[in-house]
């Protein structure tokens, strides 16, 4: 039970730090909803959708490869670090050179027909180029911190990054307008250049925060040595490129719908629709936090314990409690969805366009649930060095996402995107389980896990559709579900806590 306790402890720290950083980011969401126009939020959402795809390309799957080769080449960890970090730096430099060469073409594409905003989009793209290169530069140093078992340092850097973003956003979008409006000292200077409700200040804030992150990671960055091993790098490349394609496919599943909404809907409504979708999707943030915390703790843990005799039983036990946790969180979020929506997008009024999109939350939540289970399941092809299966699974998911969005977006807009996200992640989850049990069997309790998932689906449907988001009935269903889960798991929980 000690390995499970260690995993739980590290995941708890990652979870706390992730929750703190996400909660700080969450504080920005209602701020954006009230300060920026809906179209501005649409630009913000679409740009970060594109950026997430490029991030996966620049990282080149080297984060997972780094963890795997630390386990395989434990006698030469410095060389593994050099190879992984050097690969990401080289790819980032090539990307930057090509981006600068085709800068105008990139700007024209991102504008999607809105020619009047060329100067603004030029600024946005330049900010994002810096952010993307900075993020790529930090991938392997962050992975080293996780591999060294220092979740507190990892969390502190992440929290400081998002805290600076918060401070700069509040200053540029609230404090400066307040100074101008009330004629406070500095009013004339600020008024001479300030643009009210401009989304460019959000991008500038993220650029400055990226500089801070690089500075904080200097102790890890300076450990890079210009000593590489061609044979090892070739092995790492063979391992990582299927991971790269799988990661790109995963990001496509996560983000391409925003980009497709931007490109496929008419220019007079595309930013508005993307803004509504992106803002309502924030309600699913809390489940996303849990899934992210699990991934941060699980990946290095699973690799480091792969050689243990009872590793399969440990993985299965972790899956059981992961499923229970995410199922309860889904029911809890839907039970209190009106409160969360009020906090994020404001009061439910005829003028508040965001409330029209609240129906995207249930399918997005169960999409995250499926994604979290898939992340848990995916350890089989990473441990068995069969990363090609990750490519197949994520590739099929990406094709489903692109084809179905292409077919249904023109008629159903962002509601289609929300349901297609669920279809893609659920398909990936099922494929990973079937192939995993054939190639690297792990004794998951399928019946129990399915029972919790199906029960949560039924309760969410009752709470959201049948009882029309009634907070009292929704929370009553939540209490019954959580109580029943606690009763069913009482023997296992007693055994865990007794040790």
Domain assignment of residue 345, given as a range = 2-498
Question: Are 414 and 261 a contacting pair, CB within 8 Å?
Answer: yes
- Range scoring the smallest mean pLDDT among 22-36, 303-317, 351-365: 22-36
- Find tokens 């209490």 and name the residue: 479
Average pLDDT of the segment spanning 156-171: 88
The rounded distance, in Å, linking the Cα atoms of 156 and 183 is 37
Question: Are 147 and 85 a contacting pair, CB within 8 Å?
Answer: no
The rounded distance, in Å, linking the Cα atoms of 196 and 40 is 12
Residue 280 φ then ψ, to 5°: -70, -30
CA-CA distances (angstroms) from residue 424 to 32, 358, 402?
29, 20, 10
Q: Give residue 353's pLDDT band: very low, low, confident or very high (50, 70, 90).
A: confident
Distance of CA 339 to the CA centre of its chain: 23
What is the token pair recorded at 358? Answer: 């609240």
pLDDT at 22: 61
User: Would the pLDDT of 382 be above 60?
Assistant: yes
Question: Are 375 and 230 a contacting pair, CB within 8 Å?
Answer: no
User: Would the pLDDT of 11 be above 60?
Assistant: no
pTM: 0.69
pLDDT at 1: 47
Residue 414: count other Cβ atoms within 10 Å of its Cβ: 24
The rounded distance, in Å, linking the Cα atoms of 123 and 47 is 12
The rounded distance, in Å, linking the Cα atoms of 35 and 276 is 14
What is the token pair recorded at 130? Answer: 């810096």
The rounded distance, in Å, linking the Cα atoms of 304 and 321 is 20
The rounded distance, in Å, linking the Cα atoms of 91 and 357 is 39
- Find tokens 């994002």 and name the residue: 128
- Within a 13 Å sphere around the CA of 160, how many CA atoms are in the beta-carbon half? 14
pLDDT in tens, 99-138: 999 888 888 887 765 556 678 888 888 898 999 999 999 9
pLDDT at 2: 53
Domain count, the chain: 1
pLDDT at 8: 57
> Who has greater pLDDT, 382 or 185?
185
All residues at 6 or more sequence positions from 474 whose CB lies less than 8 Å from its CB, including other chains:
331, 334, 335, 336, 337, 463, 467
pLDDT at 239: 82
Q: Give residue 284's pLDDT band: very low, low, confident or very high (50, 70, 90).
A: confident
The rounded distance, in Å, linking the Cα atoms of 248 and 486 is 38
pLDDT in tens, 428-477: 999 999 999 998 888 999 999 999 999 999 999 999 999 999 999 999 99
pLDDT in tens, 453-466: 999 999 999 999 99
User: Would the pLDDT of 398 be above 60?
Assistant: yes
């Amino acid at each position: 039970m000690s390995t499970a306790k260690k995993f739980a402890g590290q995941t708890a720290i990652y979870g706390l730090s992730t929750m703190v950083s996400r909660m700080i980011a969450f504080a920005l969401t209602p701020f954006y909803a009230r300060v920026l126009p809906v179209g501005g939020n649409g630009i913000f959402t679409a740009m970060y959708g594109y950026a997430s795809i490029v991030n996966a390309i620049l990282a080149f799957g080297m984060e997972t490869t780094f963890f795997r080769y630390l386990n395989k080449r434990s006698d030469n960890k410095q060389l593994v670090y050099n190879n992984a970090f050097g690969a990401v730096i080289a790819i980032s430099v090539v990307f930057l050179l090509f981006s600068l060469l085709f800068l105008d073409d990139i700007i024209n594409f991102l504008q999607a027909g809105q020619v009047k905003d060329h100067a603004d989009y030029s600024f946005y793209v330049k900010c994002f180029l810096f952010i993307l290169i900075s993020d790529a530069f930090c991938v392997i140093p962050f992975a080293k911190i996780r591999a060294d078992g220092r979740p507190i340092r990892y969390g502190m850097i992440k929290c400081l990054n998002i805290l600076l973003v918060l401070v700069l956003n509040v200053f540029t979008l609230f404090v400066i307008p307040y100074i101008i409006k009330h004629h406070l000292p500095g009013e004339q200077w600020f008024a001479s250049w300030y643009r009210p409700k401009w989304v460019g200040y959000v991008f500038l804030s993220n650029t400055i925060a990226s500089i801070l992150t690089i500075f904080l990671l200097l102790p890890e960055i300076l450990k890079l040595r210009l000593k590489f091993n061609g044979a090892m790098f070739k092995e790492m490349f063979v391992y990582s490129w299927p991971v790269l394609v799988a990661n790109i496919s995963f990001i496509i599943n996560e983000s391409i719908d925003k980009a497709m909404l931007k490109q496929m809907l008419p220019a007079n409504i595309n930013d508005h629709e993307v803004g509504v979708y992106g803002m309502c999707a924030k309600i699913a943030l809390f489940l996303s936090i849990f899934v992210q915390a699990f991934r941060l703790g699980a990946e290095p843990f699973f690799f480091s314990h792969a050689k243990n005799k009872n590793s399969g039983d440990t993985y299965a036990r972790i899956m059981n409690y992961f499923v229970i946790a995410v199922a309860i969180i889904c029911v809890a979020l839907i039970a209190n969805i009106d409160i969360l929506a009020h906090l994020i997008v404001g009061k439910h009024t005829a003028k508040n366009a965001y409330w029209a999109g609240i129906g995207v939350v249930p399918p997005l939540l169960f999409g995250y649930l499926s994604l979290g289970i898939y992340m848990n399941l995916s350890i089989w092809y990473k441990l068995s060095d069969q990363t090609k299966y990750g490519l197949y699974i994520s590739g099929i998911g990406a094709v489903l996402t692109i084809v179905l969005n292409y077919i249904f977006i023109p008629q159903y807009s962002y509601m289609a995107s929300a349901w297609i996200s669920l279809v893609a992640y659920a398909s990936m989850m099922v494929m990973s389980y079937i192939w995993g049990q054939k190639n690297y069997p792990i004794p998951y309790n399928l019946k129990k896990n399915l029972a919790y998932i199906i029960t949560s689906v039924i309760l969410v449907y009752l709470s959201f559709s049948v009882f029309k988001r009634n907070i009292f009935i929704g929370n009553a269903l939540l209490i019954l579900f959580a109580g029943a889960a606690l009763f069913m798991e009482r023997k296992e929980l007693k055994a865990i806590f007794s040790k």
